[in-house]
Amino acid sequence: MTAHGIFQITTYFIALIAVAIPLGRYMARVYQGEPVFLKGMTGPLEKWIYRHCRINADEEMTWKAYAGRLVIFSVMSCLVVYLLQRLQGFLPLNPHGLPAVPPDLAFNTAVSFVTNTNWQAYSGETTLSFCTQMLGMTVQNFVSAAAGMAVLMAFIRGLKRTLSPTIGNVWVDLTRTILYILLPLSLVLALFLVSQGVVQTLQSPAEVGLLEQAKDGAATAESVQEIRLGPAASQVAIKQLGTNGGGFFNANSAHPLENPTPLSNFLEMLAILLIPVALCITFGRMLGDGRQGWALLAAMMMILIPLLGICLVSEQAGNPSFRQMNVDQSIGALQSGGNMEGKEVRFGIANSALWAAVTTAASSGSVNAMHDSFTPLGGLVPLVLMQLGEIIFGGAGSGLYGMLMFVLITVFIAGLMVGRTPEYLGKKIEAFEIKMAALVILIPAAVVLIGTGVAVVTRPGLAGILNTGPHGFSEILYAFSSAANNNGSAFAGLNANTPFYNLTLGFAMLIGRFGLIIPVLAAAGSLAQKKCVSAGAGTLPTHTPLFVMFLVAVIMLVGALTFVPALALGPIAEHLAWMRS
């Protein structure tokens, strides 16, 4: 760990908070229907959408109606993305003449982008046409992020409202999220990225001469290399802002045409956590008590920063096997030292470790380094951040509503400890809400552990790993942790483009998304119908340092009890083997 690396990380978090505060306040005004500076431009478009889609913006929905419309909309979106892939050979904007995507891969990819996971078992530039990338993947990057934010707004209304049977209008929430938040932010970021060299074109591939002749896989001499181009900047902007993560190119944000400079790297990392952090501010503003949002933000930071430190120290320490071979891994004037395998020299260890922690703390899944090449403890950190439920910031909207489920569990435990009915923000937390919160916590964990267990005892599951022993187990565990928690990043050593993994991971993504959304909306509907009670002498304040520490303890305890045995078979066992060697 260098002083320069610490400075970069500190600068990142300062800039993140500084930008998130005004954005959070702005989003609160958008969702509360208050005037904002974009109203003059987007207001007429918003009304046009309502009129032509026959949406009554004043219509309120029960939680069942809200959930039903959101699920139907997502199913139809999934079907459209699937058909785009299967028919892309007949559609325009396919300069490379790419054929239809195989059915199992098309299913996996459609589910992946609709659930905000963006797991990619394919190489983007050699599998998907420009038409599929733009109409399918980029559009879903907007819509899936908006869906998560809409569910969060419904839950906030459930906390705010008293004796109300409704929690809002899903179509209004989706429309305002896209028009007033995601589109403007993506436009600004895309222009910045283009200025840094991220490609945005519909031109055919560029051909460049090689410095010396090379041979391809068929032993044919080649003197020219084809470089695939495409409309990347527009997709990269929303993949980061919407915590989607799916790359236009196979190498994702390690690719120089997606992430060419240190400034583009900083902006893309900033975009990953920008909306999740800002939503904490939005939460406090909409509830009329900013301290509530800051308390949740503090709890998230208390978990993220120590885990980031573990990843950074582990990667900087390097590979003990190299030390036995007298390979110099120390920091010097000509090298950054440490474990540089799988990392871009232009980013170094600090920015690679920071990105790995940030992208798995959020449900982004984009990468600027290969996590499979991290040290065992360095790879443990992304695993743990996902397995906690993608609540340490998490996805756009989905991370905060997942964290709020942990808050309900925490106040329930606190109530049991002092013998009082648990309350949160004036609402009694009773059996139904705790059951829904338990489902949100247990469903992803069950999918991860069951899916991993099936994969490691079946021939199709074992056929996908490229490494034996603990590391091979980690590759499978990482894949199901990523899918069930809608992250999308991967250990690169797993060949996931097989019918077994395309189908099992596809169903894991579906369950991990809608198995959580429905209980969250059910809890929101239940809370909205309750009356608000005044705080008494025995009410637990939920904005104090004591509550923040209690919340962190509950999160870590649940995570430890659930996944430590599996982690012991993977990265922990691999680390002990390293130390013994």
Contact 557/388 with Cβ under 8 angstroms?
A: no
Contact 315/337 with Cβ under 8 angstroms?
A: no
* 306 within some domain: yes
pLDDT at position 95 over 90: no
pLDDT value, residue 113: 94
pLDDT value, residue 26: 96
Mean pLDDT of 45-71: 94
* 34 within some domain: no
Nearest to 505, CA basis, from 491, 519, 517, 518: 491
Contact 490/371 with Cβ under 8 angstroms?
A: yes
pLDDT value, residue 422: 87
Q: What are the pLDDT digits (tens) for 1-22? A: 677 888 999 999 999 999 999 9
Q: How far is CA 125 from CA 226, 370, 371, 499, in A?
A: 12, 18, 21, 21
pLDDT at position 232 over 80: yes
pLDDT value, residue 129: 92
243 burial level (CB within 10 Å; 0-12, 13-18, 19+)? buried
Beta bridge partners of 347: none
* 293 within some domain: yes
pLDDT at position 296 over 90: yes
pLDDT value, residue 138: 93
pLDDT value, residue 558: 85
* 539 within some domain: yes
Contact 71/78 with Cβ under 8 angstroms?
A: no
DSSP-assigned letters across all residues of 9-61: HHHHHHHHHHHHHHHHHHHHHHHTT---TTHHHHHHHHHHHHHHTT--TT---
DSSP-assigned letters across all residues of 380-434: HHHHHHHHTTS-SS-STTHHHHHHHHHHHHHHHHHHHHHTS--EETTEE--HHHH
Task: Provide φ and ψ at 330, rounded to 5°.
Answer: -80, 155
Contact 257/206 with Cβ under 8 angstroms?
A: no
Distance of CA 365 to the CA centre of its chain: 5
Tell me what percent of the residues of the chain surpass a pLDDT of 70. Answer: 98
pLDDT at position 528 over 70: yes
Copy the structure tokens of residue 481.
């942790």
Phi-psi label, residue 203: left if phi above 0, alpha if psi -120 to 50, beta otherwise: beta
Helices (H), 134-261: 139-160, 170-176, 183-196, 232-241
Question: 206-215 and 423-424 as β-strands: parallel, antiparallel, unpaired?
Answer: unpaired
Q: What are the pLDDT digits (tens) for 347-397? A: 889 999 999 999 999 988 899 999 888 999 999 999 999 999 889 998 898
Contact 360/117 with Cβ under 8 angstroms?
A: no
pLDDT at position 532 over 70: yes
pLDDT value, residue 142: 95
pLDDT at position 335 over 80: no
**Secondary structure of 222-241 as H, E, C letters:** EEEEEECCCEHHHHHHHHHH
* 510 within some domain: yes
pLDDT at position 287 over 80: yes
CA atoms within 13 A on the CB side of 97: 0
Mean pLDDT of 184-189: 96
Q: How far is CA 39 from CA 55, 127, 131, 179, 480, in A?
A: 19, 40, 31, 10, 42
- The domain in which residue 344 lies consists of 53-202+228-580
Helix (H) or strand (E) run with residue 214 in it: strand 206-215
Q: How many domains does the chain have?
A: 1
Contact 469/443 with Cβ under 8 angstroms?
A: no
* 196 within some domain: yes
* 171 within some domain: yes
Nearest to 378, CA basis, from 436, 339, 417: 339
For the chain, give the mean pLDDT: 91
Per DSSP, the three-state class of 207 is strand
Helix (H) or strand (E) run with residue 211 in it: strand 206-215
Mean pLDDT of 314-319: 86
Question: 427-428 and 423-424 as β-strands: parallel, antiparallel, unpaired?
Answer: antiparallel
Rg (CA), the chain: 23
* 216 within some domain: no
pLDDT-derived band at 152 (thresholds 50, 70, 90) equals very high
Q: What are the pLDDT digits (tens) for 548-569? A: 999 999 999 887 788 999 999 9
pLDDT value, residue 381: 93
Task: Give the pTM.
Answer: 0.94
